[in-house]
């Protein structure tokens, strides 16, 4: 009886060491890459990192791709126009969820007023216009020349 | 009750943090609580978007698009971030002078001292060397009233025709193109044509970055009408091509051959509108009239196969785009610096007009050649006002005696006041400064030490001549050469009119007081002029409205008539398009068209009347292909071109003050095609030398397939890497506009 | 002892969690949450520990950014305790 228990305990201990060692190894081998997004706050981001999109293409690829293919992406309404600059030193205060009336309204006030007149105050834009994506009514301007050749 | 000092301090710290939540953190772009919204025009590009500036407590706190102007509330990222520029630490708020000459420091002084110090060298030069020894170098970003007064002071007051400006560097070829083809400057269509077009021919323009809100309008047109076709012709495949049906990359400088090739196909396939060009066009080769048959014969040199060998564009593509252009119900062409900034810029403009005149895609909704103006007020302030060395107001020419007599009568001048010879155009001006012939120059609202071509050569003039400069921002390169710096009020700190691409005049009303000791440039100009000795009767204006009143009444004596655009109307409406002869006239959409254009008599026998030409007909010019001044060769095997990026305006003195825009593009780089990069063993980020016959600079490499192989591109905004040092100053012989778009360069990695 | 007032910008929905974490650290006193996005915090610590202090805040899960709003000193000799590179720099006039 005692020897089975002892074997079990030794086995458990051995497994724990292996698993623990595995995790320690992973942490050491991939110190920042394993979850690139989680530990990088914007204040760690390199000083010379130009636009938001290049890093967000890696950290939040879904949103970055959505934006790139959306109307805002085609028209180069870049991230900071709505979201500001994340280190807080920008002209626009940083916000992960922009305030609709002032931020969206800076360009889209006529359309927002038309919508409000037709359907009443909705309170937010992104219920129907999913963040960064095409509006529900039409496809965005479809990218017509998706190729990496420079001549036709 | 005792409060520990420590607790008091903690409470204070908390209170401060709390107040920040409500206050200044939001000041840069706060929403809500605006006491009033002041109507204006964006400070940046020639699209001329209307804006509303939100004012609270005497400060500008927010900006939004004006829903009633042509942009219908939309803005691009630069316009959306204009407010922080006003309050940037880079603002110059006190006058400064270099008391001890060019090697001295700039020291702050009073306005009195600065203006006298500024005026005296001009007085002296006038007395000792005459009117040709002083000059004014103005800007397509100055307000119309400022340019009008400066032009009048110089040409009528000082009797000097040395009035030129930075539109010489960007729009002069478009101006000469319109005038040679149609007899008068400025487009005949408007932005409304974009909403009705079936085909867009975009050539030499990165519209998505240089005119973003117009790009949106084009994209929207395509979105709502999927049959609309978009052709983008550009050696670079920019973001603009994302909505293109066909992207045509041609060898840099060969677009003249391309367009002649298109004309060849259009005629061969009988897609030309013989009725239109037979009735409304003359054919001219050089200065000699020819006929349609000779034009056809001329185009024999431009078969698709021959053009393919010149341009590297496949013959099938040339046929395809020619058909798209001609067969559409209405084609709108748009072009910008790729066409204008060339040694054959005027010819390139003519060739675009040719395509429209051949096919009849002109003077009807959705069909027009629409030249995109780069700056916000090159049209209204410089072209229409005539503030260039060879022009007088409203399309008149200095060297035309009848025109001089007209202006002398209109301005109540003794006959013979206006000098009969044209003054120095920009390159000649800076060469004259180097030679010592021009001793003093007044530079207004532009940054020539950064934007002139062949910088090392032409900035020498700034080192010798006495330079007075109005400037708002400390980062302007030209300040290094200025003897006097006068802080002008910035944008919405004063009122004035901008005239944009589509013949639309819009008013920016004063939203806030000028910061610091800055003063409206109009006041500065008049004060300066009086101290130099201009007759005060020539400039009897109390404010910008007075200037506008004189200018609009003057315009009634020409076909650039906008007498109906009064100040009151500008305040009420969000821009009006000229011709507009009376206050109840709504403004003109289709110019040269009977019943639309009030300058065409109502009983004119023809529907279209190109009244700028003596016989009412436009000209189709036989313009041959002529290569660029400095194409690539064995020694300098790459073509270098330059341009803008969306985030920065010109020399980035304004956009550089906005942290987000600065971070988006902190510095210049060189775009290299991946094929070329591989051959040169260059990877992304490597320091790369661009060496031309003028100079060499090192840029970080950006490997991208935007440029075709053999072409490299670098933006020109970076004051630490001024690419204009690498360029020559060869210019179009007709327009005197330099070729900024093509020079030959070596490309190699720093070892 | 330095007294530092600052705002912590947090991910939406994380404000309570972050506040509790900060409450657990002796140097910080929290003064409330604004719009579920910002925390008002005052930190109290010897000046030489200031940089490390803010790094710890930034390291807390859910913190996006730290905006310092005020800083005062009490009961300490700056020259002796604070490294030179953190001392105030005279403004250049060029």
Mean pLDDT of the region B574-581? 97
Contacts of C42 in chain B (CB under 8 A): 10, 13-14, 17
Instruction: Give dist(CA B538, CA B545) in Å, integer.
Output: 16
pLDDT at residue C15 in the model: 82
B467 preceded by a cis bond (ω within 30 of 0): no
Candidates B330, B170, B308; CA nearest to B248 is: B308
Contacts of C63 in chain A (CB under 8 A): 41
Instruction: Give dist(CA C78, CA C62) in Å, integer.
Output: 33
- List the strands of the sheet with B504-508, edge to edge: B496-499, B504-508, B576-577
Contacts of B314 in chain A (CB under 8 A): 152
pLDDT 10s digits, B638-654? 999 999 999 999 999 99
pLDDT at residue C80 in the model: 58
Phi-psi region of A107 (alpha: psi -120 to 50; beta: other; left: phi over 0): alpha
- Residue C89 above 60 pLDDT? no
Banded model confidence at residue B439, pLDDT cuts 50, 70, 90: very high
Banded model confidence at residue C91, pLDDT cuts 50, 70, 90: very low
pLDDT at residue B482 in the model: 97
* pTM of the shown model: 0.84
Say if residues C53 and C86 touch (Cβ distance below 8 Å). no
pLDDT at residue C88 in the model: 61
Give how far C75 is from chain A: nearest CA, Å.
31
Give how far C69 is from chain B: nearest CA, Å.
5
Q: Is B546 exposed, middle or buried (0-12, 13-18, 19+ CB in 10 A)?
A: middle
Instruction: Give dist(CA A17, CA C50) in Å, integer.
Output: 39
Cα distances from B339 to residues B164, B181, B202, B249, C83, in angstroms, run: 21, 16, 11, 14, 59
pLDDT at residue B51 in the model: 97
**Residue B480 falls in the annotated catalytic set:** no
The beta-strand segments (E) located in B616-727 are 618-621, 638-643, 670-672, 687-691, 696-703, 711-715
**Nearest CB neighbour to A87, from listed C11, C63, C65:** C65
Bridge partners, B248 (sequence order): B233
- Domain borders along chain B are 5-86, 96-170+377-540, 184-375, 638-727
**Span of B203-217, B381-395, C23-37 with lowest mean pLDDT:** C23-37
**Span of A135-144, B85-94, B125-134, B349-358 with lowest mean pLDDT:** A135-144
CATH topology for the B96-170+377-540 domain: Rossmann fold (3.40.50)
Instruction: Give dist(CA B64, CA B66) in Å, integer.
Output: 6
- φ, ψ at B50 (rounded to 5°): -75, 145
- Domain borders along chain C are 2-74
Query: What's the CA angle centered on B691, arms B688 and B697, to 5 degrees?
Result: 60
Ranges A15-19, A143-147, B428-432, C12-16, most confident:
B428-432
Phi-psi region of B41 (alpha: psi -120 to 50; beta: other; left: phi over 0): beta
- Residue B521 above 80 pLDDT? yes
Mean pLDDT of the region B170-185? 97
**Residue B542 falls in the annotated catalytic set:** no
- Residue A30 above 70 pLDDT? no
pLDDT at residue A1 in the model: 62
pLDDT at residue B21 in the model: 66
Three-class secondary structure of residue B72 per DSSP: coil
Taking an 8 Å cut-off on Cβ atoms, the answer to whether A143 and B32 are in contact is no
Three-class secondary structure of residue A45 per DSSP: coil
Candidates C15, C52, C45; CA nearest to C30 is: C15
Percentage of chain B lying above the pLDDT 70 cut? 98
- Residue B603 above 70 pLDDT? yes
Instruction: Give dist(CA B497, CA B508) in Å, integer.
Output: 6
Instruction: Give dist(CA B281, CA B620) in Å, integer.
Output: 7
**CATH class name, domain B184-375:** alpha beta
Complete DSSP assignment for chain A: -HHHHHHHHHHHHHHHHHHHHHHHHHHHHSTTTTTHHHH--GGGS-TT---HHHHHHHHSHHHHHHHHHSHHHHTT--HHHHH--TTTTSSSPP-SS--IIIIIHHHHHHHHHHHHHHH---S-STTTS-TTS--SSS-----S--SS-S--
Tokens of B38: 């002041």
Tokens of A88: 């807080």
pLDDT at residue C14 in the model: 74
Ranges B18-27, C16-25, C57-66, most confident:
C16-25
What is the CB neighbour count within 10 angstroms for residue B331? 27
Tokens of B270: 């009988």
Average predicted confidence (pLDDT) for chain B: 95
Instruction: Give dist(CA B55, CA B31) in Å, integer.
Output: 11
CATH topology for the B638-727 domain: Barwin-like endoglucanases (2.40.40)
Selected from 3.30.390.30, 3.30.565.10, 3.30.70.920, 3.40.50.2300, the CATH number assigned to the domain covering C2-74 reads 3.30.70.920
- Kindly state the greatest CA–CA separation across chain B: 105
Mean pLDDT of the region B440-444? 98
Q: Which CATH architecture has domain B5-86?
A: Single Sheet (2.20)
Instruction: Give dist(CA C26, CA C40) in Å, integer.
Output: 16
pLDDT 10s digits, A71-100? 888 899 998 888 888 776 778 878 878 888
Candidates B95, B67, B46; CA nearest to B335 is: B46
A90 Cβ under 8 Å from any chain B Cβ? yes
B710 Cβ under 8 Å from any chain A Cβ? no
pLDDT 10s digits, B469-517? 999 999 999 999 999 999 999 999 999 999 999 999 999 999 999 999 9
**Residue B171 falls in the annotated catalytic set:** yes
Candidates B64, B37, B63, B41; CA nearest to B575 is: B41
pLDDT 10s digits, B693-736? 999 999 999 999 999 999 999 999 999 999 999 999 999 999 99
- φ, ψ at A136 (rounded to 5°): -70, -20
DSSP B475: T
Give how far C40 is from chain B: nearest CA, Å.
6
B-C C-beta contacts closer than 8 Å: 54
Candidates B323, B319, B247, B242; CA nearest to A151 is: B247
CA A121 to chain centre: 28
- Residue A51 above 80 pLDDT? no
**Which residue on chain B is closest to A90 by alpha carbon?**
B659
Given the residues B49, B170, B363, B707, select the one marked as catalytic. Answer: B170
Say if residues B164 and B429 touch (Cβ distance below 8 Å). yes
Residues constituting chain C: 94
Instruction: Give dist(CA C80, CA C31) in Å, integer.
Output: 32
- Residue B150 above 90 pLDDT? yes
Instruction: Give dist(CA B167, CA C50) in Å, integer.
Output: 54
Banded model confidence at residue B224, pLDDT cuts 50, 70, 90: confident
CA B417 to chain centre: 31
DSSP B602: T
Bigger pLDDT: B20 vs B443: B443
Bigger pLDDT: B388 vs C2: B388
Instruction: Give dist(CA B455, CA B129) in Å, integer.
Output: 27
Average predicted confidence (pLDDT) for chain C: 77
Phi-psi region of B577 (alpha: psi -120 to 50; beta: other; left: phi over 0): beta
**Span of A57-71, B274-288, C75-89 with lowest mean pLDDT:** C75-89
Say if residues B94 and B514 touch (Cβ distance below 8 Å). no
Taking an 8 Å cut-off on Cβ atoms, the answer to whether C69 and B20 are in contact is yes
pLDDT at residue B688 in the model: 97
Instruction: Give dist(CA A103, CA B250) in Å, integer.
Output: 41
Candidates B168, B133, B562; CA nearest to B391 is: B168
Banded model confidence at residue C94, pLDDT cuts 50, 70, 90: very low
pLDDT 10s digits, B550-564? 999 999 999 999 999
**Span of A42-46, B429-433, C76-80 with lowest mean pLDDT:** A42-46
Banded model confidence at residue A49, pLDDT cuts 50, 70, 90: low
Say if residues B177 and B346 touch (Cβ distance below 8 Å). yes
- Residue A145 above 60 pLDDT? no
- Residue A45 above 70 pLDDT? no
pLDDT at residue B341 in the model: 98
pLDDT at residue B241 in the model: 93
Q: Helix, strand, coil shares of chain C as percentages rounded to 5? A: 30, 35, 30
Q: Which residue has the tokens 């992406």?
A: A73
Bigger pLDDT: C51 vs C79: C51
CA B655 to chain centre: 17
pLDDT at residue A65 in the model: 78
**Span of A86-100, B286-300, B393-407, B432-446 with lowest mean pLDDT:** A86-100
């Amino acid at each position: 009886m005692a020897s089975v228990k002892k074997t079990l305990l030794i086995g458990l201990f051995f497994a724990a060491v292996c698993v623990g060692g595995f995790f320690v190894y992973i942490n050491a081998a991939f110190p920042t890459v394993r979850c690139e997004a989680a530990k990088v706050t914007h204040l760690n981001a390199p000083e010379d990192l130009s636009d938001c999109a290049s890093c967000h293409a890696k950290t939040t690829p879904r949103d970055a791709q959505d934006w790139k293919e959306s109307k805002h992406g085609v028209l180069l309404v870049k991230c900071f126009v709505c979201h500001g600059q994340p280190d807080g030193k920008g002209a626009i205060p940083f916000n992960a969820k922009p305030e609709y009336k002032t931020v969206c309204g800076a360009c889209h006030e006529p359309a927002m007023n038309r919508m409000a007149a037709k359907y009443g105050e909705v309170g937010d834009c992104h219920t129907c216009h999913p963040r960064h994506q095409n509006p529900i009514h039409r496809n965005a301007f479809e990218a017509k020349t998706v190729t990496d050749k420079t001549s036709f | 009750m005792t409060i520990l000092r420590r607790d008091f301090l903690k409470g204070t710290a908390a209170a401060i943090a709390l107040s920040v939540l409500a206050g200044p953190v939001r000041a840069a772009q706060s929403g809500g609580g605006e006491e009033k919204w002041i109507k204006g025009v964006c400070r940046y590009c020639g699209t001329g978007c209307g804006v509303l500036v939100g004012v609270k407590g005497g400060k500008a706190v927010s900006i939004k698009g004006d829903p009633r102007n042509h942009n219908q509330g939309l803005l691009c990222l630069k316009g959306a971030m204009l407010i922080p520029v006003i309050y940037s630490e880079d603002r110059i708020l006190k006058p400064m002078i270099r008391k001890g000459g060019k090697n001295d420091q700039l020291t702050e002084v009073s306005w009195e001292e600065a203006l006298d110090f500024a005026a005296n060298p001009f007085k002296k030069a006038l007395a000792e060397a005459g009117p040709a020894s002083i000059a004014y170098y103005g800007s397509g970003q100055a307000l119309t009233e400022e340019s009008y007064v400066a032009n009048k002071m110089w040409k009528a007051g000082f009797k000097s025709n040395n009035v030129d400006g930075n539109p010489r560097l960007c729009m002069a070829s478009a101006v000469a193109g319109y005038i040679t083809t149609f007899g008068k400057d400025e487009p005949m269509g408007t932005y409304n044509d974009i909403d009705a077009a079936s085909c867009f021919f975009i050539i030499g323009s990165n519209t998505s970055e240089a005119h973003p809100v117009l790009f949106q309008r084009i994209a929207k047109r395509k979105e709502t009408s999927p049959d609309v076709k978009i052709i983008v012709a550009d050696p670079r495949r920019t973001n603009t091509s994302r909505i293109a049906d066909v992207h045509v990359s041609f060898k840099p400088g060969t677009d003249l051959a391309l367009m002649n090739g298109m004309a060849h196909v259009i005629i061969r396939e009988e897609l030309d509108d013989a009725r239109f060009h037979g009735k409304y066009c003359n054919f001219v080769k050089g200065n000699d009239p020819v006929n349609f048959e000779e034009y056809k014969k001329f185009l024999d040199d431009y078969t698709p196969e021959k053009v393919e060998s010149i341009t590297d564009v496949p013959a099938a593509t040339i046929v395809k785009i020619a058909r798209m252009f001609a067969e559409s119900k209405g084609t709108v062409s748009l072009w910008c610096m790729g066409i204008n900034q060339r040694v054959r810029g005027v010819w390139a403009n003519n060739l675009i007009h040719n395509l429209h005149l051949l096919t009849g895609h002109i003077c009807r909704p959705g069909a027009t050649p629409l030249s995109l103006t780069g700056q916000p007020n090159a049209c209204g302030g410089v072209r229409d006002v005539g503030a260039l060395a060879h022009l007088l107001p409203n399309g008149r020419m200095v060297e035309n005696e009848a025109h001089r007599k007209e202006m002398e009568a209109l301005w109540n001048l003794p006959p013979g006041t206006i000098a009969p010879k044209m003054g120095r155009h920009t390159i000649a001006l800076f060469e004259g400064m180097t030679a010592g012939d021009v001793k003093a120059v007044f530079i207004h609202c532009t940054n020539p030490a950064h934007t002139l071509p062949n910088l090392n050569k032409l900035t020498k003039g700034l080192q010798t001549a006495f330079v007075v400069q109005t400037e708002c921002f400390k980062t302007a390169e030209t300040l290094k050469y200025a003897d006097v710096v006068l802080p002008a009020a910035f944008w919405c700190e004063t009122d004035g009119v901008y005239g944009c691409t589509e013949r639309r005049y819009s008013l920016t009303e004063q939203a806030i007081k000028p910061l610091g000791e800055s003063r409206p440039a109009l006041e500065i100009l008049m004060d300066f002029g009086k101290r130099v000795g201009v007759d005060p009767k020539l400039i009897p204006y109390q404010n910008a409205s007075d200037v506008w009143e004189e200018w609009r009444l003057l315009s009634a004596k020409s076909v650039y008539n906008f007498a109906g655009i009064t100040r009151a109307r500008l305040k009420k409406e969000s821009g009006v398009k000229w011709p507009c002869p009376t206050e109840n006239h709504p403004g003109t959409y289709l110019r040269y068209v009977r019943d639309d254009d009030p300058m065409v008599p109502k009983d004119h026998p023809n529907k279209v009347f190109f009244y700028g030409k003596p016989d009412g007909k436009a000209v189709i010019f036989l313009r041959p292909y002529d290569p660029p001044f400095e194409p690539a060769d064995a020694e300098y095997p790459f073509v270098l071109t330059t341009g803008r990026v969306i985030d920065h305006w010109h020399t980035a003195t304004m956009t550089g003050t906005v942290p987000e825009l600065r971070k988006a593009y902190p510095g210049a780089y060189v775009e290299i095609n991946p094929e070329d990069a591989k051959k040169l063993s260059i990877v992304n980020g490597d320091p790369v030398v661009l060496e031309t016959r003028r100079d060499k600079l090192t840029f970080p490499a950006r490997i991208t397939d935007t440029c075709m192989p053999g072409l490299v591109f670098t933006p020109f905004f970076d004051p630490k890497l001024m690419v204009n040092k690498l360029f020559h100053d060869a210019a179009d012989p007709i327009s005197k506009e330099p070729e900024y778009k093509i020079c030959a360069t070596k490309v190699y990695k720093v070892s | 002892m330095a007294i530092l007032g600052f705002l912590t910008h947090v991910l939406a929905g994380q404000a309570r969690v972050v506040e509790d974490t900060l409450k657990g650290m002796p140097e910080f006193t929290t003064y409330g949450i604004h719009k579920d996005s910002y925390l008002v915090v005052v930190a109290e610590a010897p000046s030489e520990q200031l940089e490390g202090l803010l790094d710890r805040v930034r390291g807390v899960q859910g913190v996006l950014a730290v905006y310092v709003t005020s800083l005062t000193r009490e009961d300490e000799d700056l020259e002796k305790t604070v490294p030179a590179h953190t001392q105030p720099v005279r403004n250049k006039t060029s």
